[in-house]
């Protein structure tokens, strides 16, 4: 069978500050690395960016000037899009490369290239209070354009597909594509902290853990909480600073340590050393943190939202998002019983679940790409 060429556009300008997106693509490409009938081609502004983030040494990287900010062709492309409402420069480049499908990217409907968009979640609809003014407008415009210009759209879970039906009355062209991390556990000496590796966005709910830290301090529990993640926040540029100020004002610096952005090496080390991970998020389409916990065979404290439960993490400890006391109750039990040392059938159960979902996802991709 002749190889089908599948193209992706991954620009450091667009995705560089979204750690969850980078992790998604890393897992996605890893899933397809042995698919001989597919040739994956990534259009990018920087080969260095793709290699630095370990997005796969088996993909073809095509560095192009029209994606490089400050390059003449970058602005020429923007002008053409503005005048003709079509990304003709990208389209012509795809045609020359004999691309059969452009994946995870909107373009415009045409008879030569299949377009499969990608909308990870609909948090701007579900958590409207966190998206005001132009932030809501641009996100909504993006979703509407994807619906209009894509042949199909990948979403990150069945929950998100249900939300599409609810908010847009769109069902047939929406395809849940669940991407998991592989188990890569390493034996490391544990340290007494819980890790929350998330971008500093309001819906991630760092403030909940500040409330938890107050109780930890009052009860003198032998545990710390570490924050790390990208600090850029286009919705609230002061969010990171405000979180740090709150920690300082409440004199919680001995309980919460905020590392901000860390390297992949440092993140991996912190994940291996922690007793457990945490994700108190208000909303997730499909949580990268949950997948990181699964891959490290770590327990994870999760807010009891639908997105978390669909991911079916064997090591999940769910807590009520509105009750810090519920979190503390489960944390105390976790520490007293030393649950973090008891992995039971962690590896085999998670591997079975990963295998099941990977087969499902490969079947979907082979159907849509081939």
Tokens encoding 291 = 């997948």
pTM: 0.87
Residue 17 — very low, low, confident or very high, per pLDDT cuts 50/70/90?
low
- For CATH 3.40.50.2000, list the domain ranges present in the chain: 4-181+358-369, 193-349
- Of 52, 63, 58, 57, nearest to 10 by C-alpha is 63
- Give the per-residue pLDDT at 1: 64
Residue 235 — very low, low, confident or very high, per pLDDT cuts 50/70/90?
low
Gap between the Cα atoms of 183 and 345, Å rounded? 13
Gap between the Cα atoms of 315 and 306, Å rounded? 16
Residue 230: how many other CB atoms lie within 10 Å? 19
159 φ, ψ (degrees, to nearest 5): -60, -45
In DSSP terms, which residues pair with 42 in a beta bridge? Answer: 8, 61
pLDDT in tens, 122-149: 999 999 988 888 889 999 999 999 999 9
CATH placement of domain 193-349: 3.40.50.2000
| Res. 357: pLDDT tops 80 | yes
Three-state DSSP class for 115? strand
Average of per-residue pLDDT across 182-203: 87
- Give the per-residue pLDDT at 329: 96
Average of per-residue pLDDT across 258-265: 89
Average of per-residue pLDDT across 212-224: 97
pLDDT in tens, 61-118: 999 999 999 899 999 999 999 999 899 999 999 999 999 999 999 888 888 999 999 9
Give just the sign of the alpha carbon dihedral 90, 95, 96, 97. Answer: positive
Q: Could you tell me which CATH class the domain 4-181+358-369 is placed in?
A: alpha beta
- Give the per-residue pLDDT at 81: 93
How does DSSP assign 73-112, residue by residue?
HHHHHHHHHHHHSS-HHHHHHHHHTT-SEEES------SS
| Beta-strand runs (E) in 229-331 | 256-258, 276-279, 299-303, 316-319
Gap between the Cα atoms of 141 and 165, Å rounded? 17
In DSSP terms, which residues pair with 63 in a beta bridge? Answer: 44
């Amino acid at each position: 069978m002749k190889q089908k060429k599948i193209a992706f556009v991954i620009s450091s300008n667009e995705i560089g500050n979204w750690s969850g997106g980078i992790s998604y693509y890393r897992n996605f490409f890893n899933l397809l690395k042995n698919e001989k009938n597919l040739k994956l081609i990534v259009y990018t502004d920087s080969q260095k960016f793709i290699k630095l983030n370990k997005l796969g040494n088996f993909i073809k990287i095509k560095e192009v000037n029209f994606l490089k900010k400050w390059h003449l062709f970058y602005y020429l492309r923007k002008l053409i899009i503005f005048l003709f409402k079509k990304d003709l420069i990208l389209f012509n480049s795809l045609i020359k490369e004999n691309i059969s499908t452009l994946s995870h990217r909107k373009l415009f409907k045409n008879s030569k290239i299949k377009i499969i968009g990608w909308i990870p979640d609909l948090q701007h609809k579900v958590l409207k209070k966190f998206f005001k003014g132009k932030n809501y407008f641009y996100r909504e415009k993006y979703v509407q354009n994807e619906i209009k210009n894509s042949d199909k759209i990948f979403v990150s879970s069945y929950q998100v597909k249900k939300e599409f039906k609810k908010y847009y009355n769109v069902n047939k062209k929406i395809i849940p594509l669940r991407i998991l991390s592989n188990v890569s556990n390493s034996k490391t000496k544990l340290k007494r902290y819980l890790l929350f590796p998330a971008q500093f966005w309001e819906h991630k709910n760092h403030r909940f853990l500040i409330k938890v830290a107050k109780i930890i301090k009052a009860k003198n529990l032998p545990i710390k909480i570490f924050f790390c993640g990208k600090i850029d926040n286009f919705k609230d540029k002061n969010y990171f600073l405000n979180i740090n100020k709150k920690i300082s004002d409440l004199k919680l610096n001995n309980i919460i340590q905020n590392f901000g952005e860390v390297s992949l090496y440092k993140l991996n080390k912190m994940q291996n050393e922690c007793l457990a991970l945490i994700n108190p998020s208000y909303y997730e389409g499909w949580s990268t943190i949950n997948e990181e916990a699964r891959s490290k065979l770590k327990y994870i404290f999760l807010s009891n939202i639908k997105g978390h439960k669909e991911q079916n993490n064997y090591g999940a400890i769910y807590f009520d998002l509105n009750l810090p006391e519920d979190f503390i109750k489960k944390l105390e039990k976790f520490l007293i019983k030393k649950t973090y040392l008891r992995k039971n059938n962690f590896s085999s159960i998670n591997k079975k679940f990963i295998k099941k979902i990977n087969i499902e996802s490969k079947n979907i991709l082979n159907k849509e790409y081939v």
